[in-house]
A and B are shown apart, each in its own frame.
Chain A
Amino acid sequence: MAITPPENKLWWKEPLHRMEIIWITIAFLWGLVMFSTMIYWHITGEQNLSNEAYRITPDAFAEKTEEMAEAYTVREEGDTGIPVVRPPPGSDVYLIARLWEWWPILELEKDQSYRLHLSSLDWQHGFSLQPTNINLQVHPNYEMVVTLTPNETGEFGIVCNEFCGIGHHQMLGKIYVVE
């Protein structure tokens, strides 16, 4: 029994049941398949993270973002006073996470690629783009860069999905994707 010492003191020499050998082989091969699938997706898949990142101070990141906003603001979102920024396709796009907003609102063109830079000015936040469902962690003092290619038009929400204090559930941002 499992609660008593093995009766056969040289239990390592016991032969394996055939069922065990077959199952261990299948399970091991399945592990190799799952391992290879991640590598395969890096080669052929379209959804991978570049892992490009930099160390940056909150001030420096805020400055870059404001520069972009100044150059490319097209309007304000309703009466919220938040600028809607439409940077040119292929450019570097900056998005600030801070208590408790995503700044600014972005307007992107469908099927165009953008280098999206993400960083936080205070605590950790979670970039959760909905409903397409892309979820990335945003840290202060780190600038993460992902190349994003929106493939559908519409209005997308950026929910904060890392707990960031009492206003966490009010932290909402927006990305417009237009033709």
Chain B
Amino acid sequence: MSVSTAEGALVGHDEKYRTCLDTGLKVYAKTETLIKVNAVAAVLFLAVGGLFGVLVALTRWPGVHLLPADLFYLVLTAHGAAVLLFWIIFFEVAILYFASSILLNCRLATPHFAWLGFLLMVGGSLLATVAVLQGESSVMFTSYVPMQAAPHFYLGLILFAVGALLACCVFFGTLVIAKEEQTYEGSVPLVTFGAITAAIIAVFTIASGAIILIPTFLWSIGYIAEIDTVTYKLVWWGMGHSSQQINVSAHVAVWYCIAALVLGAKPLSEKVSRTAFLLYILFLQLACAHHMLVEPGISSEWKVFNTSYALYLAVLGSLIHGMSIPGAVEAAQRRRGFTKGIFGWLRQAPWGNPAFSGFALSVVLFGFLGGISGVVLGTEQINILMHNTLYVPGHFHATVVAGTTLAFMAISYLVVPLIFQRDLVFKTIAKWQPYVFAIGVGGTSLFMMGAGTLGISRRHWDITFSDASLTFDVPGTAFLMLGLNGIFGLLAGVGGLMYILVIVGSILFGKRRDAEAVKANPIVAGGEAVSTYGSEGTLKLPGTITLVAVFFTAFVLYYFINWKFLSEVWPLS
């Protein structure tokens, strides 16, 4: 996707495109512009939201305790909205357009609606951000009723959701056009299938958001008298948790995409990988129930069925990806001749390429920290130990930041040369960025989970309770944990800053990528030699088997340790 060559070619419609010198794919001009604007909006929100995140970590560090209480709650609300919603969904829209229009060699359906969607998302996200910064809407990301935010906070979120829904429609429309105009043969690529999974979950997410936020908006301006609090939580989490399931599907698709582009890796089995995505489509969203496990009046039958994604079938999907992604990388590396020992293929991997290192760290941190903690946290009874403690943000920083955000950062190092057609600047900073960010985020996740295990509450300004009329002493270890969380939060902030520096610097000042640059510095691995079907059947993958075995052992041990913790708590019935 570099260097304009064939401009102005016709495909029945008057659509301009260029042929990418790196991949040979058609890049339609309108798609390219939409990918660029959505990616830029995403990165800007990451910069702002990341800064808020550092302020939160510094306030929770008892030795620093940076912000006063009101500002802390304001900044925490803004942090959640800016990164959990805006950064990620803008980037996901860019991924949807890439996975449909570019990977399928097809013009984008109704670019006008795509632009309308983008403008609604920009307007909505700015409106909600302004509402929070004005100080009347420090209601946290969850905005549980009957605590009330300013009406334009809800309105902003609704506009943003409508814009995102339009983007999903454009995505599905593009799939239809590609099929009708036969721009590809057979089935869609696996990465596109992952994007379809993300878009399907997005539709349910946005529908839930609309069902609950529209009445809440009407309530905030006085048209509705009351909103039932448990119903609000039930439907709100249909949006709040599912939006993170969009992330999982999208970043798994991104993992496959990076492995394919950088190493020429081919999925071990299309059947297995697509079935794993099907399990996501069917079952992943049931886990919104993770937030409803200690609510009044919901039966344990509902809780057990939903919180377990119906017999853990969506976890089965993740465990399948957890084998097939490292497996695809190992198979690709072995075919290139890196066959020494069990882990020779891993040692010889391109660790200096930030797209690869970011991808690999994202897979490991998401699996070990985010995945295992998520299943444990979502176990009906164990949730009694962890609900609303810092364990919860610890868990989702491992999934959404170390998993999704790091994966999106990693693919940015490919998007800049391929879509923006610029070479990276500050190559040394780029090389180290994924490591700095991963260590920072891995640390914050781990120490928040540690503090949560000690019972420290999330969204809490003062663990010393200095203003309270009663006293309570939290364990001394918790102070250490929160201090370490602050230090690693700073490190993650530095990693985020390095990312912004490299990406914005490259877009603005990077050398234009021309045919010579493509030859001298190829981005895409020569896929031809390693993509012949059947070759992986003859390969043994001892490295992947070892990694999977280590992961599974950690999972089983940690799972049962938490049942042990639970058994020591006061009997409850």
Q: Do chains A and B touch in the complex (CB under 8 A)?
A: yes
A169 to chain B, nearest CB (A): 4
- Max count, chain A CB within 10 A of own CB: residue among B191, B228, B470: B470
A165 to B148, CA, bound (A): 10
**Which residues of B are found within 8 Å of A157, using beta-carbon distances?**
470, 472
Closest to A28 in B: B316
**Which residues of A are found within 8 Å of B298, using beta-carbon distances?**
51
**Which residues of B are found within 8 Å of A160, using beta-carbon distances?**
457
**Is B521's CB within 8 Å of the partner chain A?**
no
Is B191 a contact partner of A3 (Cβ separation < 8 A)? Answer: yes
**Which residues of A are found within 8 Å of B190, using beta-carbon distances?**
2-3, 6
Is B569 a contact partner of A128 (Cβ separation < 8 A)? Answer: no
Is A128 a contact partner of B455 (Cβ separation < 8 A)? Answer: yes
Given contacts A2-B190, A143-B296, contact A38 B572 (CB under 8 A): no
**Is A142's CB within 8 Å of the partner chain B?**
yes
B29 to chain A, nearest CB (A): 20
Question: For window 544-573 of chain B, which residues contact chain A by CB distance below 8 Å?
Answer: 544-545, 548, 552, 555-556, 559, 563, 566-567, 569-573
- Max count, chain B CB within 10 A of own CB: residue among A1, A131, A147: A1
A49 to chain B, nearest CB (A): 7
Is B300 a contact partner of A34 (Cβ separation < 8 A)? Answer: no
Is B189 a contact partner of A5 (Cβ separation < 8 A)? Answer: yes
**A24 touches which of B139, B311, B320, B375 (Cβ 8 Å):** B320
Residues of A in contact (CB 8 Å), total: 90
* Chain B positions 465 through 477: 1 when the CB is less than 8 Å from some CB of chain A, otherwise 0: 1011111101100
A85 to B136, CA, bound (A): 38
**Is A91's CB within 8 Å of the partner chain B?**
no
Given contacts A47-B384, A132-B569, A139-B230, contact A34 B379 (CB under 8 A): yes
A153 to chain B, nearest CB (A): 12
A122 to chain B, nearest CB (A): 7
Is A38 a contact partner of B308 (Cβ separation < 8 A)? Answer: yes
A133 to B537, CA, bound (A): 50
Closest to B471 in A: A172
A14 to B273, CA, bound (A): 12
**Which residues of B are found within 8 Å of A62, using beta-carbon distances?**
none
A28 to B319, CA, bound (A): 9
Is B269 a contact partner of A20 (Cβ separation < 8 A)? Answer: yes
Is A148 a contact partner of B472 (Cβ separation < 8 A)? Answer: no
**Is B62's CB within 8 Å of the partner chain A?**
no
**Which residues of A are found within 8 Å of B324, using beta-carbon distances?**
20
**Is B297's CB within 8 Å of the partner chain A?**
yes
B: contact size bracket: 35 or more
Is B467 a contact partner of A169 (Cβ separation < 8 A)? Answer: yes
Is A17 a contact partner of B320 (Cβ separation < 8 A)? Answer: no
* Chain A positions 135 through 147: 1 when the CB is less than 8 Å from some CB of chain B, otherwise 0: 1110111111011
Is A170 a contact partner of B388 (Cβ separation < 8 A)? Answer: no
Question: For window 14-54 of chain A, which residues contact chain B by CB distance below 8 Å?
Answer: 14-17, 19-20, 23-24, 26-28, 30-32, 34-35, 37-39, 41-42, 45-51, 53-54
Is A9 a contact partner of B294 (Cβ separation < 8 A)? Answer: no
**Is B423's CB within 8 Å of the partner chain A?**
no
**Which residues of A are found within 8 Å of B257, using beta-carbon distances?**
2-3
B3 to chain A, nearest CB (A): 19
Is A47 a contact partner of B566 (Cβ separation < 8 A)? Answer: yes
**Is A162's CB within 8 Å of the partner chain B?**
yes
**Which residues of A are found within 8 Å of B384, using beta-carbon distances?**
47, 49, 134-136
B466 to chain A, nearest CB (A): 9
Is B570 a contact partner of A168 (Cβ separation < 8 A)? Answer: no
Is B147 a contact partner of A124 (Cβ separation < 8 A)? Answer: yes
Is B458 a contact partner of A161 (Cβ separation < 8 A)? Answer: yes
**Is A89's CB within 8 Å of the partner chain B?**
no
Closest to B193 in A: A2
A169 to B328, CA, bound (A): 49
A1 to B566, CA, bound (A): 46
A82 to B471, CA, bound (A): 13
Closest to A152 in B: B570
**Which residues of B are found within 8 Å of A12, using beta-carbon distances?**
271
Is A169 a contact partner of B572 (Cβ separation < 8 A)? Answer: no
Question: For window 58-84 of chain A, which residues contact chain B by CB distance below 8 Å?
Answer: 77, 80, 82
Question: For window 320-345 of chain B, which residues contact chain A by CB distance below 8 Å?
Answer: 320, 323-324, 327-328
Given contacts A19-B545, A34-B375, A147-B572, contact A128 B457 (CB under 8 A): yes
What are 28 inter-chain pairs, A to B, with CB distance below 8 A?
A: A1-B264, A2-B190, A2-B328, A9-B185, A14-B271, A20-B269, A23-B319, A23-B320, A27-B320, A30-B556, A34-B379, A35-B308, A39-B304, A42-B300, A46-B567, A51-B298, A126-B387, A131-B454, A136-B294, A139-B229, A140-B146, A142-B230, A144-B296, A157-B470, A159-B455, A162-B388, A163-B147, A169-B461
Additional pairs, 18, CB under 8 Å, beyond known A16-B269, A46-B573, A131-B454:
A1-B265, A2-B273, A4-B189, A7-B533, A17-B536, A17-B537, A30-B555, A38-B308, A45-B567, A46-B571, A82-B470, A124-B146, A130-B474, A147-B573, A159-B460, A166-B69, A168-B459, A169-B69
Question: 10 nearest interchain CB pairs?
Answer: A31-B312, A53-B297, A157-B472, A53-B296, A161-B457, A144-B296, A2-B256, A27-B319, A46-B571, A161-B388
